[in-house]
Structure 1
């Protein structure tokens, strides 16, 4: 009984992990670092698919 329960738990856990996917990644950067990160984010987002959302923090 315990083996079946553990096997079912492992199966559900595996299915949950494989179904996870990122659509938007949030990246926090320090303010005043220049436009270098902004250009990287813009170039990455231009490729399509997953996107990066950059937030500047003081």
Structure 2
């Protein structure tokens, strides 16, 4: 849960997989049909829904 809440940059994620931010973004979007930001927002919304349902 803590990882969903903290700020994360495209450069940070791209660095973890040894790609430039531009290349990582293109590869990610081609694979998942969404940007990393869109995916992160979806995860955060899903987590918020679960928390509200309790």
Which has a greater percent of strand? 1
TM-score range for the pair, normalised by the shorter chain length: 0.3 to 0.5
Which has the larger helix fraction? 2
User: Given the two structures, how large is their TM-score scaled by the length of structure 2?
Assistant: 0.33
**Whose radius of gyration is greater, 1 or 2?**
1
TM-score, L = length of structure 1: 0.31
Which structure has more relative contact order (CA 8 Å, sep 6+)? It is: 1
